[in-house]
Structure 1
């Protein structure tokens, strides 16, 4: 029996567990379906290359066939380990544009404008460059420059400058409009700083915090319209756990809506189709799925400096292993996507709607197809797609994967912008600064017309791993949670993760999801202390003992 039960130890869940359990009078249980984050592939930055294409610490979901992608099934890697997707991502620290958050607020979600969420970004951050009005120091999440960036990234940035783009030193600074540069990363002394490393590992000895791994949540428990606990499976056995105050779902944009539906909360027709008793009808659960559609081009290179499969590359990697072991520098500290930029698909728009990730190796099908030799790749993704998808159920079996249908390129405007993005990316990659590295274009050497570009996008585009929006925050009939992230119509239940975003942010989603966890913790603690204060006043008149005795948890 705990005050709070959190389902999911990902980016938001780890931040929540840390902040809530900082109060010793509050007991917290954190459930995670994956294992402890002991794998070296998690902590060594370049280890991402071994995780993303496999099921190691990875749910490795597939989408439904996508008409916009020639009926191909897309790939959806998500973290199945302490730290969630922050333990398997490319560690890029990006917040998005201030207009993203201002739009949330303007849509009827008070407290979520950029100026109101910036303090939570700063609170979580330990910016190695130092503090200023946009950055914080002393927070759990270490944000750093890459230790050993590849020289080709400097040439990529120079290529962008040759095409008229500014060099950006801080993509999270004031009023960033357009430009290229190096990404900062969530690393500390050359190792990954996941949400688990930052928020969870330092506090595992707190007596009021219990972390249960390999615990797959199967449904939320209720007393009428109040959430009272969680049922989960561990070691092929069922268990139940009680939440005195709240159950908090932080299972991510794909699995938080799945768990709500398995628990009888969601669209009536979806639940009836699978024989699930309707507890509360919320038609928006699982709807509004948004993701950044992304195309990757790859070019071979005569240079052996990039990461590649070759005899020189193997010797280089052996040296890199020694450099990492002794000094925490070298190729193993690479996040692979070291540089990039933000571009506008149309000069007439104010805020960039395209993002580039420049990759220091040949990347094909999320790393699941390998190529001999050396080269480089570049992603272009659409930051504010119009296309919408959904998450549903394959069955009432809680161990089954959810239905994932992103609806990629279902809106024609998205394809038009991706075609423009492809052309802008190609212009940069063809600039003189990259001439000494440039070899053969692997996929698009003969692609010239707009229709040819469309076809190669349909053949090769997929996610860049940023699903959001399936438990949308708002106050209309399609919203799932309110601006305090409480599930509409249900007491004692919140959703705190990327699924609550009404619209997708203009960049990578890890830092914004941690911010959501930080802000939610303050809202929850404020409500807890207000409630406790009221009860204590009431009981002081009755001569009662304090209301919330601390339960020791092991």
Structure 2
């Protein structure tokens, strides 16, 4: 391999062009004052299915834009490995995700603040959610309409999704027109990060408007190998691009935005992490930081599949060449129809126990069914609703397996490790079944396919969860923010014990928030951009 020594210098070097990295690249280059290099291991976001909302199903196992990670065998899931798709493309996971715009609960952020992270309470972060947002419904107390990120209502009439909301209300949940407003609890329709029926990834929303700025350089197919230090100051990033080893020096700061798996991996490869782990791979220890890769959290889901009495599901459309062609024409001409379906059309948030302060379960309802996401839809008419526990107690780890940056890390999430987590799924499945049995859904239901009528007892429901449970693709907290000994970054996202280095992405979340993680990750990067620019004055 050639080593290219034409060292290039920038004020900021950003590693990872995902949900957070694209925001940083836009905001830090906006004034024209600072030079910015954005490094992305994957390609440009030119794959056709990136831009079609339903395309997330096609990209699920598309190696060209996806890291295609797997967990280690999970003890709580009978030793099954759980597939972990992560974006490897401009836009990162926001280019291949399920598109739902969910911020979480006000209480999530207040809990972050109460854990010693000043400036991260709900009232502190709300302005950054609003700053990012271009809300189709217009601006109000909770929403912004002038930001880069389009947030839109769904553009496809689906009687099943509407019936689910009605059934939830019949089961006693309030109707909630806005999961991101005053309160999260209730049933309603999800909004999505789309504009006029097209995906609005962070690359589309933040990078495209900025890409021609003279002070911003974007390098794709550039895999970061390690960060190089001068003592305890981060100085440069070594990256491999098309067979050449290159180096980029940061005059001010290196910003690691590689996600909950790749950010701790890069820190460990660079000598910042648990000393024993680094030494075992022959890596020089720059800083013994035992928290790097700790506290890995993820949302798990368990799905109920129901056979539908009418040929109105996506299963039926996909099975018919004529209806499939019509759906394609409808999207191409009008940007409407079945191809605009996100990874949840309607849904609900509820408490499994009235003593809880806020909902601990999220339901994603979708008008199609499959054995595994990303695989063929069922040959029968079917729809799905999944139970997702919002605040798992289970904690896992991320560890490098090798000093080779191209080798995937060891991912252990430890699903269903605590009684609270196990109980949440048992009770959540019972409540979801009650919703599915309400009058509004009766005309559409033939039978429950999975788990099926024979699965009734708590033991059987837990066993079903262990056999079929999977991820909702929300890993966080592996470079956690805080002031305790295992916290990796401080409240300004600076790596503790190191100068000139921050982590800005979902890995800094003090704990997993109650909902989908893309919107909060974009918020974190908006807030980080302000802090970085403040510190540059």
Hey, what's the Cα distance between the residues in 2 that align with 1:193 and 1:152? 25
Q: For each residue in 1:468-489, what CA deviation from the matched residue of structure 2 results, as whole angstroms up to 9, or x when unmatched?
A: 0000001111000000000011
Number of residues of Structure 1 aligned to a counterpart in Structure 2: 528
Is the 2:223–2:241 contact (alpha carbons within 8 Å) kept by the matching residues of 1?
A: yes
Hey, what's the Cα distance between the residues in 1 that align with 2:58 and 2:379? 16
- The structural deviation recorded for 1:312 is 6.1
1:319 to 317, 326, 339: 326
Q: For each residue in 1:453-512, what CA deviation from the matched residue of structure 2 results, as whole angstroms up to 9, or x when unmatched?
A: 111100000110100000000111100000000001110000000000011101000000
Hey, what's the Cα distance between the residues in 2 that align with 1:439 and 1:482? 53
Query: What is the match of residue 526 of structure 2?
Result: 518
Q: Bigger shift: 205-214 or 51-60?
A: 51-60
Hey, what's the Cα distance between the residues in 1 that align with 2:173 and 2:145? 30
Is the 1:149–1:338 contact (alpha carbons within 8 Å) kept by the matching residues of 2?
A: no
- The structural deviation recorded for 1:274 is 1.2
- The structural deviation recorded for 1:302 is 2.9
Query: What is the match of residue 339 of structure 1?
Result: 346
Is the 1:53–1:366 contact (alpha carbons within 8 Å) kept by the matching residues of 2?
A: no
Hey, what's the Cα distance between the residues in 2 that align with 1:437 and 1:190? 27
Hey, what's the Cα distance between the residues in 1 that align with 2:458 and 2:122? 37
Query: What is the match of residue 452 of structure 1?
Result: 460
Query: What is the match of residue 235 of structure 2?
Result: 228
- The structural deviation recorded for 1:337 is 1.4
Query: What is the match of residue 292 of structure 1?
Result: 299
Query: What is the match of residue 372 of structure 1?
Result: 379
- The structural deviation recorded for 1:336 is 4.0
Hey, what's the Cα distance between the residues in 2 that align with 1:152 and 1:310? 14
Hey, what's the Cα distance between the residues in 2 that align with 1:146 and 1:309? 20
Q: For each residue in 1:397-438, what CA deviation from the matched residue of structure 2 results, as whole angstroms up to 9, or x when unmatched?
A: 110001110111111221011110111111111222112221
- The structural deviation recorded for 1:175 is 2.8
Query: What is the match of residue 397 of structure 1?
Result: 404
- The structural deviation recorded for 1:345 is 1.0
- The structural deviation recorded for 1:55 is 2.5
1:348 to 342, 350, 355: 355
Is the 2:131–2:147 contact (alpha carbons within 8 Å) kept by the matching residues of 1?
A: yes
Hey, what's the Cα distance between the residues in 2 that align with 1:49 and 1:369? 10
TM-score (norm 1): 0.94
Matches within 5 A, 1:104-119: 104-119=112-127
Structure 1 residue matching 2:531: 3-state secondary structure: helix
Query: What is the match of residue 427 of structure 1?
Result: 434
- The structural deviation recorded for 1:56 is 4.4
Is the 2:41–2:221 contact (alpha carbons within 8 Å) kept by the matching residues of 1?
A: yes
Hey, what's the Cα distance between the residues in 2 that align with 1:302 and 1:336? 22
- The structural deviation recorded for 1:369 is 4.9
Hey, what's the Cα distance between the residues in 2 that align with 1:463 and 1:424? 20
- The structural deviation recorded for 1:313 is 3.4
Query: What is the match of residue 497 of structure 1?
Result: 505
- The structural deviation recorded for 1:100 is 0.5
Hey, what's the Cα distance between the residues in 1 that align with 2:319 and 2:486? 56
Query: What is the match of residue 255 of structure 2?
Result: 248
Hey, what's the Cα distance between the residues in 2 that align with 1:460 and 1:251? 29
Hey, what's the Cα distance between the residues in 2 that align with 1:410 and 1:438? 34
Q: Bigger shift: 181-190 or 142-151?
A: 142-151
- The structural deviation recorded for 1:106 is 0.9
Structure 2 residue matching 1:441: 3-state secondary structure: strand
1:200 to 207, 216, 227: 207
Hey, what's the Cα distance between the residues in 2 that align with 1:311 and 1:150? 16
Where in structure 1 are there 5+ consecutive unaligned residues?
530-554
Say whether residues 1:91 and 2:84 are aligned partners.
no
Q: For each residue in 1:68-115, what CA deviation from the matched residue of structure 2 results, as whole angstroms up to 9, or x when unmatched?
A: 000100111111111111111111111101110011111111110000
Is the 2:315–2:377 contact (alpha carbons within 8 Å) kept by the matching residues of 1?
A: no
Q: Mark the CA change 1:401 to 1:149 in structure 2 (over 3 Å): closer, same or farther.
A: farther
- The structural deviation recorded for 1:314 is 2.9
Structure 2 residue matching 1:227: 3-state secondary structure: strand
